[in-house]
Amino acid sequence: MSYNAIVIGAGVAGLAGSIRLAAKGFSVTVFEKNSYPGGKLSHFEQDGYSFDAGPSLFTQPHLLEELFAAAGKQLKDYLNYESVPFACHYFYPNGTRFKAPANPTELAKTLEEHLGESSEVVLNYLQKANQLYNQTGHIFLEHSLHRKETVRNINWRDALKPIQLAHLFKSMHQYNTSTFKNPQTVQLFNRYATYNGSNPYQAPAMLTMIPHLEINEGTFYPKGGMISITKALYKLATELGVVFEFETPVESIIHSEGKAKGIVANQKNYFADVVVSNMDAYFTYKNLLKRDRKAANILKQERSSSALIFYWGIRQSFSELGLHNIFFTENYQKEFNALFVSKQLYNDPTIYINITSKMEEGVHAPENHENWFVMINAPANVGQNWEELKKQARNNILVKLKQMLGTDLEPLIATEAILDPVTIESKTSSYQGSLYGTSSNSKWAAFLRHPNAAPKIKNLYLAGGSVHPGGGIPLCLQSAKITTKLISQDYHLKG
């Protein structure tokens, strides 16, 4: 028997979900309000410079390999990528700077040399991160936690072995402080909380598994930039017969008698056996289902952080910079207090700069020029004066980089574009511009995320960064896989 599915949104999870459903024989139509696929994983060109607009870190390419294999294809025929030897170039306010290898042994040596940290301690920390991820993390990242049959089939005894009391009852910062002697090392490992929009001074020490992905498993670069991932997913989806309706925002989800039956778009009804929403869970309930009470319940969970990004074409090449670069603040705790407590930008922000022209000279920027993706963490939008905040942030960033690089960047900026939380929300339907839906500042966060199947509406499923298991490219790919697995179970499909 053949089935048809409607996917709302062509973000990473929407694309991956449409591929998996098509591979299982579904007729799939994707409705996307923008004129392009990818959601946050998009790009643009301006004045001879090319910029990836959203996610800039590529880890766990095996998840893409697996997705393409599920469709009977090989990723290498759609996307080329290479490993990156250095995960990040770090710069501290006191003048300390070094390149951090994307290899546990080499990183341990580097931190011992530059920060006086015991290489044995670093290696032990990363080994624990490895065990925590592979024995415990996969339970939360690869399975639905909201169905009894899933919970019953998990080998909890083995899964919980790596967990120490400290992982549950200490914050990430407390755990890192008790492990490392140098505050700069603590700051380096604290920053991984930002990978899911959380606060290391509140988030549980379970998040210390995150460095495993970047350091133990490695960091990678897709040829052509991150947009190449979107292009590969879109190409495969279309080859499998997925139909895309761009510039077609969904107005509502048709549901009655506890079942989803389709959607309304352009004032026209489209019916389907399955509806998958890749829209933020809050907007799914608030705007598409008109269920204000359920939407309000979702808001009880703290939103993740957002971002303020300046895209700068730079008329110079900086040999001390690499693909990924971090310029730390003097006081990390004050920065996170500003973001999560005061809901404001900090005046001495930690700055992340991504430069894809370092990997492909002459492709993303003119020769001897660079394309800078300059990002600082920002609070979710709760009505702040963003026009004023953008001016202040731009000035603070330029002053800080001038001090730390010894170069006045203002005259070198050939072109500029800006992305703020308000624009992130309008472009990607991410409520308040939060990049990862809800934060992981609670030890119950993994259980509180919205499930991948709507609890009280049959045939309605959710995938993407605002639902289980979370945000970021790898987790969105996992979310699509979990959602498709639930659909397969509900429709008694093989595989």
pLDDT tens digits, 390-414: 999 999 999 999 999 999 999 999 9
> Cis omega (within 30 of 0) on the bond before 162?
no
Kindly state the tokens that stand for 6.
Answer: 């409607």
Does the structure show a pLDDT above 70 at 280? yes
Mean pLDDT of 131-150: 75
Kindly state the tokens that stand for 238.
Answer: 């279309």
**For residue 404, which amino acid is it?**
M
CA–CA separation, 212 and 101 (whole Å): 13
Q: What is the pLDDT of residue 212?
A: 96
CA–CA separation, 475 and 197 (whole Å): 13
Say how many C-beta atoms besides its own lie within 10 A of residue 27's C-beta. Answer: 16
**For residue 126, which amino acid is it?**
L
Kindly state the tokens that stand for 466.
Answer: 């605002």
* Phi, psi of 311, rounded to the nearest 5 degrees: -100, 115
Q: What is the pLDDT of residue 161?
A: 61
Does the structure show a pLDDT above 90 at 165? no
| Closest C-alpha to 305, from 281, 264, 338 | 338
* Phi, psi of 478, rounded to the nearest 5 degrees: -65, -40
- The kind and range of the H/E element at 414 are strand 413-419
Handedness of CA 73, 32, 254, 298 (dihedral sign): positive
Q: Which distant-in-sequence residues (6+ apart) come within 8 Å of 149 by Cβ?
A: none
Q: What is the pLDDT of residue 2?
A: 87
Q: Under a CB-based contact definition with an 8 Å cutoff, are residues 129 and 106 in contact?
A: no
Say how many C-beta atoms besides its own lie within 10 A of residue 121's C-beta. Answer: 16
Alpha carbon of 339 to those of 170, 213, 253, 344: distances in Å? 21, 25, 35, 5
Tens-place pLDDT, residues 300-330: 788 899 999 999 999 999 999 999 999 999 9
CA–CA separation, 323 and 327 (whole Å): 13
- The kind and range of the H/E element at 149 are helix 148-153
Q: What is the pTM of this model?
A: 0.95
Name beta bridge partners: 169.
none
| Closest C-alpha to 191, from 324, 298, 318 | 324
CA–CA separation, 74 and 65 (whole Å): 7
Name beta bridge partners: 11.
38
> Cis omega (within 30 of 0) on the bond before 93?
no
Strands (E), 367-412: 370-378
Q: Compare 34 and 159 and report the one with higher pLDDT.
A: 34
Mean pLDDT of 248-274: 97
Q: Which of 30-34, 108-112, 333-337, 431-435 has the lowest mean pLDDT?
A: 431-435
Tens-place pLDDT, residues 113-134: 999 999 999 999 999 999 988 8
Strand, helix or coil for residue 314: strand
Q: Looking at residue 289, what DSSP letter applies?
A: S
Q: Under a CB-based contact definition with an 8 Å cutoff, are residues 306 and 376 in contact?
A: no
| Closest C-alpha to 226, from 472, 22, 478 | 472
Longest dimension (CA), the chain: 67
